[in-house]
Amino acid sequence: MAAVMPAPAASRLLLSGNEAVARAVWEAGVKVAAAYPGTPSTEMLEEIATYPDLYAEWSVNEKVSLEVAIGAAYAGSRAFCCMKHVGMNVASDALMTLTLTGVSGGLVIAIADDVGLSSSQNEQDSRYWGRFAHVPVFEPADSQEAYAMTLDAFALSEQFQVPVILRMTTRINHVKSLVTVGERVAHTGLGFKKDPSRFVMVPGNAGKRIPLMFQRERDLRVVAESSPLNCIEPGSDRRVGFITSGPAYMHVKESFPDAPVLKLGFSHPLPFAKCRELAALVDQVVIVEEVEPLVETELKAQGLAVIGKEILPLQGELAPNVLKPAIARLLGEALPENAVAGPLTAALPVFPRPPTMCVACPHLGVYYTLSQVRNLNISGDIGCYTLGAGHPWNALDTCVSMGASMGIALGMDKGRGEADKDKRVVAVIGDSTFLHMGMQGLLDMVYNKGNVTVLLLDNRAVGMTGGQDNPGNGRDIHGDEAPRIDFAKLVSALGVKDERIHVVNPYELPVLFKTIREEVKVPDVSVIITDQPCVLIKDYHKLKPFEVIDDKCTGCGNCIDVGCPAIHVTRRGKEVKPSGKEVDLAFVRIETSVCTGCGLCVQPCAPKAIVHHVPTAPLQFIKGGCSA
């Protein structure tokens, strides 16, 4: 795949925050960039991979990606790593020792927080990692700042030989604005210099580096006090002043353009003197931060009288419709129009559009089958297959974190009580998630003699974040050929007995149903691997679409239970059976323009009313009129 040549020097480009960071990474002379995809951070590495003169990789998980970047930084080269907020939970094992060793070449770690829970299982605040690991944190407020702060972060990283966290949020990652960019400046790594006392973190060496870490943090606080990234913007309305950072700064300026504001771009270590300077200018200080009260707590510990989460919510974005009423109440003013209490306010009454799987998704057959098998406890995982928890399948009982389906399923098995003694335990996990963090759980399950049936859904892509490549599909980040993992051999190597490993086509419902029903009865670890590609990647080949013969449709609704979005209910009715029982009827049609011909809906159709679509002959225009 050919690299995209960069724009000329001093260009102005319309870039998202992710694209702006990628551009800065390239301009900074970075040699190695690594990540695991996760919304809202994914596009950073995707964009970086289009630039020449650097190495980029999709790693199998965030911990490995950070370790790859650390190795490059130890070697004196500039390195970059990015992940979403929950990814740092995985990578933190490396981070918490990296803070002691420091780096030689510059290392920037971009963490994308999902404020507002657009696509995540929690809303954690990654600014904590700056405090926990004693490393500096930069917080851009728009794409231009994301670009500029990335460049500044590499310079600071090398000056203090410390990794720098670039804390972003969905509102920065995905929103576009004009960015003035430059050109790449080459950076030559000095090579790895052996120093076991620094890089071999056995207790005796680590203990000696802890005082250095704390001294570095004190030195960084001095830099933060004078940094232009932390600036006070004066205002004429001094009743309330604000201390804020990131996109919350934009919300403050929109809501209160005349108020004094301390904008924190270099937000950790916190510049206490600068905060006192702002406080001296105003009657009251309000801390506007998404989402935890970190700055508020630190300033109160310094003796500053500040207001924060007493009046602002502890979750969600602090948009103007949240800020304005909160400050109005503080000042005893009338509430503005469109005032809301916070993010928990009831949503507007719009037509519900719950997320669902794609037309012909290979996971549809899996969850349809699971919904038909009784007496199961189903442990789920992170990916597009998490949607199996929804209607019409309702076939997922837990979802916690990447790879958790394995350990939770084993715990359900070992911890079952009297009420669950007859329940069968099933774990569902995707291919990329399995490679990310599921392999260890399966190994633990085998080693500890679990009684669990594992459904390993191999759709040859990191589906939820956009179909990125992984070791399971034989392509690297550039789309070039790479070694492809054989999942059957892999799970066999992890100790699953060969007779308990099955590879099935998830579109063949009778085979899938029979395999699941038989394996859940076996008191051992079983792995059922489904082997059809995601419908949105090039590996998938569309077949002839289907349609419903109206006269044959009895309204049984069996096809609806498959959950394919191409099936639409046209009318509903009721029927009284000879037994006197009243049943609901649902008559359907298939949207042939999107149907891919997977055949899932055909198999449960009792009256055989679903057949291949016969397209109408196109109109042919002839002299004097037209004909079919």
Residue ranges at the known binding site for [4Fe-4S] cluster: 553, 556, 559, 564, 595, 598, 601, 605
Provide the total of helices (H) and of strands (E) in the chain, helices listed first: 19, 25
Angle at 431 between CA 430 and CA 434, to 5 degrees: 80
Starting at the edge strand found earlier in the chain, the sheet holding 240-245 runs: 230-233, 261-264, 240-245, 284-288, 306-307
CB atoms within 10 A of CB 218: 10
Which residues are within 8 A (CB) of 296 and not within 5 positions of it... i.e. 6 or more apart? 287, 289, 306, 308, 309
* Distance, CA of 523 to CA of 307 (rounded, Å): 58
Joined together, the tokens standing for residue 362 give 């290979």
Which residues are within 8 A (CB) of 502 and not within 5 positions of it... i.e. 6 or more apart? 515, 519, 526, 527, 528, 529
Q: What is the DSSP letter of 481?
A: B
Angle at 47 between CA 46 and CA 50, to 5 degrees: 100
Strands 376-379 and 610-612: unpaired
Which spans in 332-403 are helix H? 362-372
Q: What own/partner pairs with CB < 8 Å and gap ≥ 24 does 390-396 have?
A: 390/354, 390/355, 390/356, 391/354, 391/563, 392/560, 392/561, 392/563, 393/367, 393/368, 393/561, 393/563, 395/367, 395/370, 395/371, 396/367, 396/428
Residue ranges at the known binding site: 553, 556, 559, 564, 595, 598, 601, 605
547 φ, ψ to 5°? -145, 165
Joined together, the tokens standing for residue 103 give 């780096």
Joined together, the tokens standing for residue 384 give 């597009």
Tell me the β-bridge partners of 530: 457, 504
* Distance, CA of 88 to CA of 127 (rounded, Å): 11
* Distance, CA of 559 to CA of 588 (rounded, Å): 9
Residue 561 · residue 604 · CB < 8 Å: yes
Collapse the DSSP code of 284 into the 3-class scheme (helix H, G, I; strand E, B; otherwise coil) and give the result. strand
**CB burial readout 423-432, b (16+ within 10 A) else e:** ebbbbbbbbb
Residue 76 · residue 2 · CB < 8 Å: no
Q: Based on the number of CB atoms within 10 Å of its own CB, is 63 exposed (0-12), middle (13-18) or buried (19 or more)?
A: buried
Please say whether the dihedral angle defined by the alpha carbons of residues 371, 372, 378 and 384, taken in this order, is positive or negative: negative
